[in-house]
Structure 1
Amino acid sequence: MKCVDLFAGCGGLSLGFEKAGYDVLAAFDYWQPAIDVYKENFTHPIFNQDLTNEIEAIGKIRAYPPDLIMGGPPCQDFSSAGKRDITQGRADLTYHFANIICAIKPKWFVMENVEQIKKSHILTDVVEQFSNAGYGLTAVILDASFCKVPQARTRFFMVGHLGDSHNQLTNTIRKNLSEKQMTIRDYLGNQLGVELYYRHPRNYNRRGVFTIDEPSPTVRGVNRPVPKGYKLNTCDPVDADLEKVRPLTTIERSYIQTFPSDFKFSGTKTNLEQMIGNAVPVNLGTFIANAIAEYCAYGAINDSLFDDIMPFVLPNKTLNRMSY
């Protein structure tokens, strides 16, 4: 299947789909540091394109044309790491993504975002827009640690298939989830050379020290050293020796995002931390890509029982109805 990646960043979603056997033809982004890294790692072109200029973007995308368009519109306005202010403008990029999809009408699309988008009227709006354009939609919330990623990163995915019914991929996705969360040791063994590491909490009521025998918390766009005078939280491992605890390096954090060791990163530390934190974990992209490929090959597994509203797949593999 031929694909185009919008809001591609440094290429986590592109690489994930390539690993699943998809043919990524081109990518689009508007942040030059990420574009520079993308160019170092892929042979197809990436365009520095403002996707709010829909007419220009649509013209470039149609030149390929893709069977599938994927993308993660920047999510800071929804994110729990941000101010959750959807009036700031970045959330509008979700509308631009939807407008581009509905203008080009690929057979498939994949949209990724943070879990908090489910609380926004913007999701309601684009669900209606996609449905009116003839897409059958499957919407899921996935914990990446159940999808071969050593990170408890919870993300929203919406998959659209032109001319199909809603929820057709739900059971396939549920079936493919791992029975248990993947830990850092499961994925990297002892490669990091540490048993404990520091990840700066949003506030000091939360833990900051983690073990490699659990999934990493969400990799964010900031990475800070252990502060002087940091005191162990009651949630931290009781035997942690802060003299021996360090934060993961930038490249180690890319491994947690399941970028391979031969993926080339260049640029300032600040920019690299940001693009790695913003990326879709490579293996999470592959998980979604494999679900689509399996559906294309075999069809829906036990047609979904839900016709009127879309279910969300939760990390514990239960279904939860949600009204928009």
Structure 2
Amino acid sequence: MKVIDLFCGAGGLSLGFKNAGFTIVAAIDNWDPALRTYQSNFDHPVIKSDLADINTITGKLKAFKPEIIIGGPPCQDFSSAGFRNESTRANLTVAFAKIIGNLKPSYFVFENVPLAKYSHSFKEAQRIWKEVGYGLTSIVLDASLCGVPQRRKRLFCIGARYASDGFLERQLQTGYRDPMTVREYCGSSIKVNNYYRHPRSYKRRAVFSIDEPAPTIRGTNRPVAPGYKGHPRDTAPVAEVRPLTSDERALIQTFPPTYIWDVDKRSDKEQLIGNAVPVKLGEYVGNALREWIQNKE
């Protein structure tokens, strides 16, 4: 089935759906480092466009005749790391919904942070989808239960035209496994047993073991802070650890080691990695949807 990825970023969701057996025919983003990185790893067209321009985007995408549209609109306004205020970026969730409503693909997949489900934008998106005949499955997935070595929780809303609400819940929940640890997934590719991940508050731990799932990989990667004195739950003394490298962070996001990051600045690479949908999480959702489609047919 032909898939278009909106807000494609580095391509984690695209690669996950490709691995699940779908054919990605086009992708769209509006940030040059994402566009260059995406194009360096895929052969199909990647289009630079402002997704708030709904009519223009609809016209461009009609030619591809997508059967599935996937994407994760910017999540900063919904994130627990942000201000939780809905601004222009949050309106891109409504733009995503309207593009779905205009093109009416058989299926769509929306991804965002869990707090997005409480937003006015997401409620408006759901109203738009229901109005044009989609059954919806909304679920928060813990990536560590889906083959990713990271406790990253993400909201997915999957739509199928003329299906019942909750149509994909069984497929999404029956595939859970025990939490994946960093060592289990990465093996010897990460050369340390413990590492530093800068906390949002010094009241939180900052040192983690590779024998547990990693905390959420974020869009910044800060060095060990001189002001951090340790936490009772740290798995090693802070003086003995280092942050993960960019490539180690990408591996925990389940990008293959051969993935090309076509960026000029390290900060852009870190942001691309942190903002991405983990490849294996996208693959997990793609496999569940493919199974449901096959059973339906």
Superposition TM-score, scaled by structure 1 size: 0.90
The answer for the alignment partner of 2:255 in structure 1 is 259
Does structure 1 residue 277 correspond to structure 2 residue 274? yes
- Percent identity among equivalent residues? 48
Q: Distance in 2 between matches of 1:228 and 1:77?
A: 29
**1:297 counterpart SS class:** helix
The answer for the alignment partner of 2:210 in structure 1 is 212
The answer for the alignment partner of 1:54 in structure 2 is 54
The answer for the alignment partner of 2:158 in structure 1 is 159
Q: 2:197 aligns with which of 192, 196, 199?
A: 199
Deviations 1:45-68 (A, max 9, x none): 100010111111111110111100
Deviations 1:6-31 (A, max 9, x none): 00001000000001111000000000
The answer for the alignment partner of 2:111 in structure 1 is 112
Q: Distance in 2 between matches of 1:230 and 1:126?
A: 42
**1:286 counterpart SS class:** helix
Cα displacement (A) at 1:241? 3.5
Does structure 1 residue 121 correspond to structure 2 residue 117? no
Does structure 1 residue 91 correspond to structure 2 residue 87? no
Q: Distance in 2 between matches of 1:17 and 1:72?
A: 14
Structure 1: where are the runs of 5+ without partners? 301-324
Q: Distance in 2 between matches of 1:254 and 1:137?
A: 31
Does structure 1 residue 190 correspond to structure 2 residue 181? no
Q: Is the Cα contact below 8 Å between 2:205 and 2:232 reproduced in 1? A: yes
Cα displacement (A) at 1:229? 4.5
* Structure 1 segments (4+ residues) deviating >2 Å: 241-244
Q: Distance in 2 between matches of 1:74 and 1:109?
A: 17
Cα displacement (A) at 1:244? 2.8
Q: Distance in 2 between matches of 1:219 and 1:2?
A: 30
Does structure 1 residue 2 correspond to structure 2 residue 9? no
Pairing of 1:144-155 with structure 2 (within 5 A): 144-155=143-154
Q: Distance in 2 between matches of 1:193 and 1:89?
A: 42
Q: Distance in 1 between matches of 2:233 and 2:204?
A: 7
Q: Distance in 1 between matches of 2:38 and 2:181?
A: 28
**1:157 counterpart SS class:** strand
Q: Distance in 2 between matches of 1:229 and 1:135?
A: 51
Deviations 1:243-294 (A, max 9, x none): 3300000111000100000101131110011111000000000001000110
**2:112 counterpart SS class:** strand
**1:90 counterpart SS class:** helix
The answer for the alignment partner of 2:13 in structure 1 is 13
Q: Distance in 2 between matches of 1:294 and 1:4?
A: 19
Higher helix share: 2
Deviations 1:158-189 (A, max 9, x none): 000011111111111111111x1000011011
Q: Distance in 1 between matches of 2:83 and 2:233?
A: 26
User: Which residue identity is paired with 1:27?
Assistant: A
Q: Distance in 2 between matches of 1:170 and 1:299?
A: 14
The answer for the alignment partner of 2:65 in structure 1 is 65
**1:76 counterpart SS class:** coil
Q: Distance in 2 between matches of 1:76 and 1:230?
A: 26
The answer for the alignment partner of 2:285 in structure 1 is 288
Deviations 1:198-232 (A, max 9, x none): 00000100000000000000000010111225311
The answer for the alignment partner of 1:308 in structure 2 is none
